[in-house]
A and B are shown apart, each in its own frame.
Chain A
């Protein structure tokens, strides 16, 4: 048995008072969970403390909260681990133990204490991606026959328990509340990757062209870190981008595919990045390229000009080589040839190693 102090963010809308933090002392085995701590505080000190939970075994996905700022399941976080992080974040000057801070999930409105409104953020976005199978044509007389590899490919996305921890952690959602978000997009991959689904192209076209779709993910890994089931939603979003841009050649309105192709081409040509060329080609690839600039792309390019002018003024971009797209030093010796050979091989192969399937991840 050990003593812990948990500091819980309380909020009761009917009271008319603003949110406040309340500390509870709990006494539990350190290997027990933060949820056990919350339930003890509720039983011993304040029966009005609102927390949602059910299975207590990281299966039902009910007890999503933030522990020391990190979105997670309360039942899957040990008190001793939460204590170690609380102490670390408090810094070297700390004496004794810092309180374990428990808050409701982010990016959602709070109904009471630790209970958030999953409907208005999570479930609404979830429905946005048409989260059910739409097969082509009439169903077969008996079951669908699917290869095992094809289904193994979507098992990672299938593992989602809808707890909302990734939605809570998402940093794009903080900046853009309209972003479809990690949980819903991971679910979108679950159907894009399913060989029984007949609307793959339509799904991809929709998600690539929506300004709040797959190209609105800022690649911050917060959802990967938060997910208690190893779904790695961001990895699923990147797969959606790969499939939309490469396999389906969807030339989206967000410059997503253009940017990706411009970057890849840039390195094939020079080995290291020529930012000026990247900027230009992300918006408006050369006339020889198949892609033509859209009005949105031209607007994007023009809006970058003030930044470029400032860079020239401070000397950041004084060198001609940095200013003129396409005048960029190549790698020495035959290195550039080697890089091109790697491209020739990899673009033909496109092998993907899924560590989740391999069993390397959880």
Chain B
């Protein structure tokens, strides 16, 4: 499997362990990634809030660069998926609007073509289930995550709005994390926060609202007996992991729950060591995960 690859900004910025673990895992899984190093930020919803046409131009540019490779595109960031899907929905809806945006890209000699060779833009989670296949993934597992209790945390941008995000064709996208956890031999923990918001988008505007959300979900997962959370979104990771000590203050309780990136969880099951997967870089300690797994191996 060969894919154009948009890693996003945060996976190379404040969560470098995400980009790093994805590279390891992809190689092991036999997925060849062609990094779109000229591509730009998706705008994360903020640029669309600032200027919709600007967001659509920027994302059309990324799509055009991906289409140049002749490959389907993979991202590893729910927020990129959401922001890019929003632009793609507008670009695909109206021929005149798309032509107008393509005029802006023409200077660079590129253009985004609707539905070109069935071109798709999918995050790693969707790709894992729909294209790679969970049977194939299961067969590759060398360290089953047995005994590890994992709470899924999706991030809003791969859940809503369903129509924009292709749920008409793939209605089960909101239960994929549970299926991946099961395929890797782990145990799914049900708790209230799995499909709620981490609060990150308002962290600089209303810290209370933002961290109350993160802290509540982490606390609920702990109460439900989770050893860790897993998320396909690095921005959720920032609020759930990096801000966890601050969130604990706001919700007034002790937290301390590891939050894994999706490729890290896959990587652990494929036999990589926690350190290789950058788990030492996390703010919330990952020792409980490591202990649980070494217990399972013994």
Contact = CB atoms under 8 A, between A and B. Distances in A.
Interface of A: 84, 88-89, 91-92, 171-172, 174-176, 179, 211-212, 215-222, 224-225, 232, 238, 241-242, 245-246, 254-256, 259-261, 263-264, 267, 271-275, 279, 282-283, 300, 303, 306-307, 310-311, 314-317, 319, 322, 331-333, 335, 338-339, 341-343, 345-347, 349-353, 355, 358, 360-361
A286 B48 CA distance: 24
A221 B85 CA distance: 13
Closest 4 CB pairs of A and B: A221-B160, A273-B9, A346-B54, A220-B197
Majority SS at the chain B contact face: helix
Nearest to B14: A275
A316 B51 contact: no
Contacts of B213: 171, 174-175, 218
Contacts of A264: 46-47, 50-51, 54
A317 B204 CA distance: 19
A176 B242 contact: no
B281 A315 contact: yes
Given A175-B216, A346-B54, A316 B281 contact: yes
Contact of B53 (A215, A218, A241, A349): A349
Contact of A242 (B49, B163, B179): B49
A89 B46 contact: no
B92 to A, nearest CB: 9
Given A219-B156, A275-B10, A307 B243 contact: yes
A319 to B, nearest CB: 8
B99 to A, nearest CB: 12
Residue from B45, B160, B199 whose CB has the most chain A CB atoms within 10 Å: B160
Interface residues on B, range: 35 or more
B271 to A, nearest CB: 23
B297 interface: no
B288 interface: no
B57 interface: yes
A71 B156 CA distance: 16
Contact of A351 (B100, B161, B172, B243): B100
Contacts of B27: none
Contacts of A211: 206
Given A175-B199, A224-B160, A317-B14, A351 B52 contact: yes
Nearest to B200: A218
A279 B205 CA distance: 11
B206 A342 contact: no
Contact of B51 (A216, A218, A282, A347): A347
A267 B40 contact: yes
Contact of A260 (B13, B46, B108, B243): B46
A272 B12 contact: yes
Contacts of A273: 9-10, 13, 41, 44
B113 interface: no
A311 B54 contact: no
A271 to B, nearest CB: 4
B34 interface: no
B205 A255 contact: yes
Residue from B57, B163, B206, B216 whose CB has the most chain A CB atoms within 10 Å: B206
